[in-house]
Amino acid sequence: NFRCRSAFKLLEIDSKHRILHPGSHVIDCGAAPGAWSQVAVEKVNSLGRNSSKPVGFVVGVDLLTISPLDGAVFLSNADITDSETQNKIISILPTGKADVILSDMAPNATGIRDLDHQRLADMCLSLLALSEKVLHPGGSFLCKLWDGSEIQLIRDQLRQRFQDVRTVKPKASRTDSAEIYLLAKLYRQIKS
């Protein structure tokens, strides 16, 4: 049982785009209540349930408290945009590096669409700074955004760092029409 229906969005994106693999080391940003982390734990084999596959690692962060989950390490009451939190994550990661950054983060919406969009876009940009510090070459980045004027800028920034950047809109998120995800793959691989 998943802690939240949002799990189905990640399952849908991953089944189509294959970002989580056995052995992957994953950072889940805005992880509470923990459904994406539940999906990640299974997909990366962080509990070692499949003994023939490599064992991955999942670290989740949220401003809120996240209930413990077997196979994941959680940093509760922590702001991912804070450099102290980012350094803590780096120290928790077994190699100090990650293969995948997931973000389903959202600020508390004010209802002012442009303002909410801008705030989420700023959070996304701070994750890009984190990706520079922690992502392995070839790594992936998946980030929620609300539609708006900054999307093009963020997409451009991603394109400078990743070979494959696309916008995805899982069917499971249909109800919230402003919500999209940017998926960037192949961090710092030479463009062909």
Q: For ligand SAM, which is the closer residue by CB, 58 or 123? A: 123
Q: What is the CA radius of gyration of the chain?
A: 15
CA dist 109 and 104 (Å) reads 14
Examine residue 146 and tell whether it contacts ligand SAM (CB under 6 A).
no
Angle at 171 (CA atoms; ends 167, 173), nearest 5 degrees? 80
CA distance 134 to 146: 25
Our CB check for ligand SAM shows the closer of 107 and 148 to be: 107
Is 125 a binding residue for ligand SAM by CB under 6 A? The answer is no
Contact with ligand SAM (CB under 6 A) among 16, 49, 53, 64: 64
The residues pairing with 60 across neighbouring beta strands, listed in sequence order, are 28, 74
42-61 footprint of ligand SAM as x/- string (CB under 6 A):
-------------------x
Pick the catalytic residue from 133, 144, 169, 185: 144
Catalytic positions, written as ranges: 144
